[in-house]
Structure 1
Amino acid sequence: MDNLETQTVQLGFLPTIGGFYLPKMLPAMSKFNSNLHLVEEESSEVMMNLLHENKLSIALSGAETPGFKEPWIEQYPIDKRPLQVCIAPNHPLAKEPFITSKMLTNYSFICLDKGYTHYAIFENWAKTNQINPNQVTYTKEIQTAGSFIASGLSVGIMIDLLVKNRTDIVTRPLKNAPQFYINLIVNKNAAVNPLQQKFNQTLIQNTSELQTS
């Protein structure tokens, strides 16, 4: 790894979920601040590739399933969040207490593109609920998805954290919603310097305490 000969520590994370979970995980990590290098990637697929290629040893990432089969992965579950219906405040469905797939039949969707965990989750949900592919537009940018939703052009099916701070978008529960799984992922085969190893062990411990609190 690039940091093997230096006393730096790296942590990968997705900004959309890191902004919510890192403030809960990092306060006890202050002794590493001067050595910490953050690696931000919007795509879970890119983040997992960085881990697999030994460019990172530890990262906060998302997944479409609760577990992993890859032998190099150590997984520490943090949370799971249901996908929700994200719509403009003046959308016809905004006053509904919850929304079913049938209620969405006549609407257009905006979805994050390949490489995002949301893509795989949405594709499975859309196929199960017989959503017409012609109703779906794909984007590589979360901000673009938000713009389509806020304008009323499209409905988003995503976790609330992606639109958490937007006043021009509201979320409504989706019946039988698929889950988005949030994990701390470690490449247990990665070669790391002693400080990185200590950082990883401390963060794993903090994550375990966060899960049980």
Structure 2
Amino acid sequence: MSLPTIDPRTIPVIRIDNHLPAIEYPRLQADALRARFAAPPIWQPEFLAEKKFMDRQPLPAAVLLPIVLRPEPSVLLTLRTPHLSTHSGQIAFPGGKVDETDAGATAAALREAQEEIGLTADFVEVLGQLPVYVTGSAFHITPVVALISPGFVLKPNPYEVADVFEVPLAYLMNPAHHRHHQVDWQGGQRQWLSMPYQDAHTERFIWGATAGMLRNFYRFLLA
């Protein structure tokens, strides 16, 4: 079974969550984020598993959810090159499969971030992890949330990464920008979230697993 070729931008929006509160600006600052992970609240993630479309053994993976400590905090994201075998041409966090030599999800996320975009660990302060997110292609992804000190110089791997950019954290943590999509597929329905962001003359269409993990981060901060 394979995922149909679709342009997610063309799939109808069935709901926008502008009835939900945005995360207040003070709660997006470094000290507030450190405090939240130091004493996590009781909360419930909203997106944990996509509709399965690939029948294979689970593949452990990890991504870095990197929050850059700008005057207005931002999230560092990548645009994957179009020739990759999975999630090609999509916006993603730096990350990939957990290797046998990795000490765990955090080690894998840090390694992948350095390999993909040249982000070295000395600029990274790991805060903690969010719940595992399971993609329809059987990746079991652990999001590792981290603060990134400014001053880094990125060196994207041209084979994997077509672009690297930042989106304001406040924008992503405002559900007025969270759009729900739905399409008929394989005799049922497939649903996902998108968070389009207009960056100068370029629309950054954040959707699927990346948007789902960001939504879980929103729920974590809201709780």
TM-score when scaled to structure 1?
Answer: 0.27
Higher helix residue share? 1
TM-score when scaled to structure 2?
Answer: 0.26
